[in-house]
Structure 1
Amino acid sequence: MWQKLTSLFLCYLLLFTCCGVGVAEDKREDRSKDSSGFWEAIPYVVAGGGLMALGLPLMGFTGAGIAANSLAASLMSWSAVANGGGVPAGGLVATLQSLGATGGSSLMAKVGAFLGYGVYQTQKSGKNKDEE
């Protein structure tokens, strides 16, 4: 439980630092000239959520364990060599495997959807600055 809370907190910090920069500028914008952007944001949200949900199994972190000859196996090998022969509990490989084994794909999909929306907002704000 502690490992999942730590990983969620780290994801929050990453998302806050990536997406929280232009918050003050967004509040000052005149939003009456824009549409809500709901339909424009859907492809970004779906793509981000889909990529993150499929990311763990594609890397090799599956419900049955780490897949042979995968990126996950390489990461596990590298981690074991770097730590004297064992994979440390609470490390990156252990946390990703825990998420992959317990159905963390839904959590990753939510994080990916939020990141996709952040990319949409960043591109939208860049277009508004270019128009001015």
Structure 2
Amino acid sequence: MKTFTFKKTLITVLFLITIVFVGQLVSNTLGYISAADYIEEGNYAEASVKLEKLDGFRDSETLKEYCDIMSEYDSASFTSVYHSYRGLKNISSELDNPRLSTEFLKTMTEVETIYNNYNVLLYAN
């Protein structure tokens, strides 16, 4: 009789652990999708807040760093563009996802172009 109660308790505990794990996974996935939507819209500050809440999700810390850099870049003067570019360059190699790495490279190229154009205008005057 004790064995039956032990098995029943063990199964119940394993079931509850599974529910918690699946719930956390679903929550992280929805948060990641929401953050991706914010990134796509260019709302990096909101995306950073969403990514901060994710717990151990793949690339979430790297993406949060990206969003922080881009939100600073969005509100910054052109003199800080190069610092944003360098920050992006440092974290682009950390991503596992090739699509995100491509987006990083595209963004970095745009930032570098803006910075170079700014320097040309600055020194031309």
**What's the TM-score once normalised by structure 1's chain length?**
0.35
Q: Which has the higher contact order (CA 8 A, sep 6+)?
A: 1
Larger Rg: 1 or 2? 2
Please state which structure has a larger fraction of its residues in helix.
2
